Every structure is written in structure tokens, then in C-alpha cells.
Copies of this chain bind each other. A is one copy, B any other.
């Protein structure tokens, strides 16, 4: 290929590893020949039965599955633009996104069919959405069934797309403000994969567990990379820590991508033992900050595992910087860093005027590279604002050290301003997370009549652990300045509320606090 198109990475691999069993999804197992055949049929049906042409959008609302992978691959081969939907979207958000994305077709699995059908029923006339396809054999009122489409499609490889063709329309956040669709091209997806693969070696013998939700940008290394090298994909429909361990053992999984919360839930699971992870070689984590206390527990429990932290966002297909296995093993202050920009990506810290900040000075993390989105779907103004000055503005606050390691100080939105001082919530979370009784922690700013905001911590203790707010405050005081130490701490026994991408929902925590305090 002269063109950087994702499908051309996949096709030679499917030919070369035709008879290799590369897909395990519950009772479904497939070699690459069958996978290619199904994707070709699906592409054909997408086009002829469902009317999806180049640039046309189809949505997916489904737990992780081999069908989800097939839908991505159909898009990669030139069969339209896939619009993967967050599974936690409220009905109103589903309506908004489906109206915005202009999807004419949606694929939904048994698990989410009722939810979807109820959500869209009131607005069905206003949407261009006119075909619902059911993945599975449940009893729902839909227009098509997935397996029928695959059966009737012709197994011919589709026409080759161009490298600037859009291929993924992924809505960002959804946790704050109106969700925006980041439109990602073939080229952006391919180069994002290259950037990852230049940091973490992809090798044909890899066995990958899809436990991260497949609607999330962090899933892309597995969705595009693993099948491009003839590796093995193992699917977990919805994250459940006990089942993770079963699947790792059963398929000798050696690579996965997680958010830190997942690691915490696995380590805390009563059935956890390091032996169950004996086959694991690399764990990539990202999407939300890793508390240093949790990281230390992972390193101690799984010393043989290479740890890789990725930092990025949907807008850049997924990755900007990585903290490598080697960086993790060298330890020290760098463990609190998000690593260095991967080859091919430029990162700079800028002040509000767009000037480059000096080394060590915090400012907004900005980046430019070939893996960025074409733009926000139908939002030229937001696109222009995001790329002002030729740099993508992440909204994160960060700083570089002298060796080029990036430290994320906070989300601009999660920074607490108390008595005129900036407090970065991550720093406070790190200080608390090293206490042996702490399982999960989130730090937020809550209203304070005098100081504007005060530092407040929500803590989930480890099962059986007993700890007081005073002890935790004393513990934090050892490592951070007085004005950063939480003034109040609340304890919970249930896990923290999480977004669909399993990031702690700080906005939700703030809302709950305000409700309770009647403010």
C-alpha cells in the first residue's frame, strides 16, 4: 500500500495466518480465514442491504464481542464510518448522539436492545436512523439480524478506501457538556497504531484480552493492532474482575489494556492470586491517573509484568505519551509521570497566550501529530478552537521535567482553587493512596464560603481495613503542603461512580456532595 489505510494492515495478516485460531469469544472460536470471510460478507451487506457507502455512519451499542470487532474491521476495509457508543449513555444522550452522528443504521446486542429501543422510540421520527440490527438471537423488534446479514453478504473484499477517508466517529467524554464526535481518518488510526507499536513491541505470538470497552479509544491497539500482526483476541463482554482471571488463565493471555480502576478491582478480588496472571507479560494502562499507591501494589503483586502507561485522548485516536516498562522499573519520581511523547508525536506545555512554558512550569498540554482527528463532526468552531495555533489543546494541565517526562498535574476542570492557591487533585489522591487502608480515592473541590473551594476526599477503604479521617489527613500531611491536605474526608463502602470508560466521575461526586449538603 502506498496509502495508510487500516484495512491494508489487516488483509495480509488474514491471508498469512488464515488457519490460525485468532479469536475467542465465549463459545465462539474463529480462525482468520473465517474472520476474513465474515468481515467481507458483512461489508457487502452493509453496502447493499443497509445502504452504507463511503463516509456514511453506522452506530454500535454492544458489549465487547467478535461481532464488534467485525464491525470495526468492516469500517477499516472501507465499509463506512463506525460510531461506537458508550454503554452508560442515558436515553437522552443516546438520542442526542444518534441525531448528531446522522447514523442511519445501529447495531445493538441482546443486552442493550431494550435500553436502546426504549431510548429512541420517542424520537424515532426525528432521526435519520431507520435500521436496527440485532447482534444475537433475542426476542426484540428489530429490522435485521446480524447473522442473516453475514449469511447473505457476498464474500468479496471491498474496494480500497483512501487514507483521508473517515473511519471512526467516536464521541468524547459525554461526562461533561454536550458530547462531540471526533472524526478519525484511516491515516490517523494507522499512525496511532504505529506510535504505540514503536513503544510496545507487537509480535505475532501475542494473546490480547479485550476487557476495556470497545467503544473506547484505548481499545484500538487491540482492535487494529492485534489482528494486523496475526495475534489472538480474547473477548470479555463486560468488565468483571473474576472473569478476567478466568480468561487470562484459560487463553494464556499475555497483553491487555486497562484503566487503573480495573487493576484495583482485580487486586481486591477475593479470588486474586499472582499465579493466575503467570502468562501476562504486558499491561498497558491509561485513561485516568494511576494513584502511586495502587501502582506500587501492582508492581509488588505482579513483578514479572511489564507496565506501560499511555496518555492520550479520543481526539488523537488514543496515545500521545507513554511511560515504558523500563521507566516503571527504574522507579522513583517518574512513576508519577505520564512518560515521554512517543516517536511521531510532539507535545508542548503552553501558557494561556500560546507561549511555550519553561521546563518545570505547569501549563496546558498541547500536541500535534499525524494521529489527530480530522475534526469534531459538524462542529467547525469547536474544531478551530481545539487546534488553535496549530496545536491541539488537551485541557489538561501538565509540566515537563528536564528529561522530557510529562507530569499531568490535573484536568483543567478538576483543579481546585482554595484561598487563591491551585491544588491539583491528582497530587492529593497520590498522597492518600499510599496509605495501606485505601483502596480507591477521588479528590474534589467543594464550595467553601471563605476559600472559594475546599479540598474534599472520597475514600473507599480496603475490605476489613479500619481507618479514620484524622489518620488519613495526618498521612497526607507527610507528603503534601498544608493547603493541599483534605479538610474533609467521606468514607464509602461501595465503589466510586465511574464513567462508561471507567474513569471516576468527579462531576457526579461533586453533584452528590452538593445534594447532601443542600448547597
A302 beta carbon closer than 8 Å to chain B: no
Decide if A404 touches B2 in the complex (CB within 8 Å): no
User: Can you list, as one digit per residue, whether each of A195-210 has a CB less than 8 Å from chain B (1) or not (0)?
Assistant: 0011101111000000
- By a CB distance below 8 angstroms, the chain B residues around A343 are 9, 194, 197, 202, 228-229
Quick check: is A341 within 8 A (CB to CB) of the other chain?
Answer: yes
Residues of B within 8 Å of A199, CB to CB, are: 201
Q: Are B1 and A194 in contact (CB under 8 A)?
A: no
Question: What is the CB-to-nearest-CB distance from A169 to chain B, in angstroms, rounded to a whole number?
Answer: 19
Residue A368 interfacial (CB < 8 Å)? yes
In the bound complex, what is the Cα–Cα distance between A1 and B195 (angstroms)?
13
Q: Does A326 contact B (CB under 8 A)?
A: yes
Residue of B nearest to A193 (CB): B343
Main SS of the interface on chain A? loop
Q: Does A247 contact B (CB under 8 A)?
A: no
Chain B contacts of A154 at CB under 8 A?
none
Provide the residues of chain B in CB contact with A436, threshold 8 Å: none
B-chain residues with CB within 8 Å of residue A417 when the two chains form the complex = none
Asked if A3 lies at the interface with its beta carbon under 8 angstroms from chain B, I say yes
- Residues facing B in A364-386 (CB within 8 A) are 368-370, 372
Residues of B within 8 A of A198 (CB): 194, 197-198, 201-202
A240: min CB distance to chain B, Å: 32
Chain B, Cβ-Cβ closest to A348:
B12
Given A229-B343, A346-B8, A404-B16: A3 in contact with B201 (beta carbons within 8 A): no
Residues of B within 8 Å of A370, CB to CB, are: 1-4
A194 near B368 with CB under 8 A, answer: no
- Residue among B202, B228, B369 making CB contact with A1, cutoff 8 Å: B369
State whether A201 touches B202 (Cβ < 8 A).
Answer: no
Q: Is A272 an interface residue (CB 8 A)?
A: no
The answer to whether A17 has its CB under 8 Å from any CB of chain B is yes
Task: Give min CB distance, A281 to chain B, whole Å.
Answer: 13
CB distance from A351 to the nearest CB of B (A): 17
Nearest neighbor of A17 in chain B, beta-carbon distance? B404
CB pair A2 B344 closer than 8 Å? no
A202 contact set on B, CB distance < 8 A: 198, 343
In the assembled complex, which residues on chain B have CB atoms less than 8 Å from the CB atom of A368? 1-2
Contacts of A4 in B (CB 8 A): 191, 370
In the assembly, what is the distance between CA of A2 and CA of B343, in Å? 13
Please measure, in the bound complex, the distance between the C-alpha atom of A198 and the C-alpha atom of B204, giving whole angstroms: 12
Residue in B9, B194, B369 whose CB lies within 8 Å of A194: B194
- The reply to whether A2 and B203 contact each other, CB–CB distance below 8 Å, is no
Leading 7 A-B pairs by shortest Cβ distance:
A197-B198, A16-B404, A194-B194, A12-B346, A198-B198, A2-B370, A1-B368
